[in-house]
Amino acid sequence: MNLLSRQDAAVSAPKGEPDAPRTASGGLDGKLEHAREVNLKYASNMPNFVADETAKRYTRANKSLLWRHLDTIETEITFKGTRAVRQRIRRNGKPWTLSFEALPGFKWYGGFGTEIRPLFDPQCPTSIQYRGRQEVRGKQLMEYGFSSPADGCFASFYVGNRRYNPARTGQAFIDTGGNVIQLDEEAEGFPADFEFAQRTEQVWWDYVKIGDTSHLLPVRARFVVLYSSGARFRVEVEYKNHRHFEASANITFN
């Protein structure tokens, strides 16, 4: 099960919203346009770094309300822009000698920035609407709801030889500098005979020190997948110990 990514964006603040940020002319949301510029620049210039990734996977049977811990996957994940390579994989504390793709069950491929460009690229069919201010993790952030039709710029889902790119809805929480601090995304509307019925994803960013420089980088992600059978998968991901590439690293990006 794989998900690869593309990107999306667009539109204006709702009329009649008293605190909806607007341009002086009352046209497009000025803060949204600033956020678009900030985040597209960010997506194009993400720092290359290495982090320790810990992912805890859980399963839930059809009609059950109880999540069962399946396993814990630890990797050294190397980012080059929004592309990632996982090495030194351990499953439940033991070395996993096969590839990440060979792990059984649901595998997560987002959660580290590939979601940014689909949200803000003006060439994509995503609409964005201001919803107001919210306190998130102790910060006052601007909330924007978004929606994208099927076959938009977001990632397609692949199961075997089958591919489908469903509609997306969700919300992005943006700070005063225009940076996305949290992104919630839901994919639904899959064909009845597709293996997935629904997938939700949440990504959290924070400022992380690498050397003498502070970078806004992903620190957590969560994925919940509903299968057509009624079974569910949940993955809780943490990124820690962010650091620069080692000069001697031997990494190939395909």
Predicted pLDDT at 158: 86
Q: State how far the alpha carbon of 77 is from the alpha carbons of 55, 82, 195, 229, in Å.
A: 12, 12, 28, 32
Dihedrals phi, psi of 22, to nearest 5 degrees: -135, 165
How far, in Å, CA of 54 to CA of 118, rounded? 26
Containing 33, the helix (H) or strand (E) segment is: helix 30-44
Tell me the pLDDT band of 3, cut-offs 50, 70 and 90. very low
Predicted pLDDT at 24: 38
pTM: 0.82
How far, in Å, CA of 125 to CA of 10, rounded? 7
Q: Coil, helix or strand for 118?
A: helix
How far, in Å, CA of 68 to CA of 19, rounded? 44
The residue behind tokens 């956020």 is 35
Task: Map out the domains of the chain as residue ranges.
Answer: 2-243
- Per residue in 192-235, pLDDT (tens digit) is 999 999 999 999 999 998 888 888 889 999 999 999 999 999 99
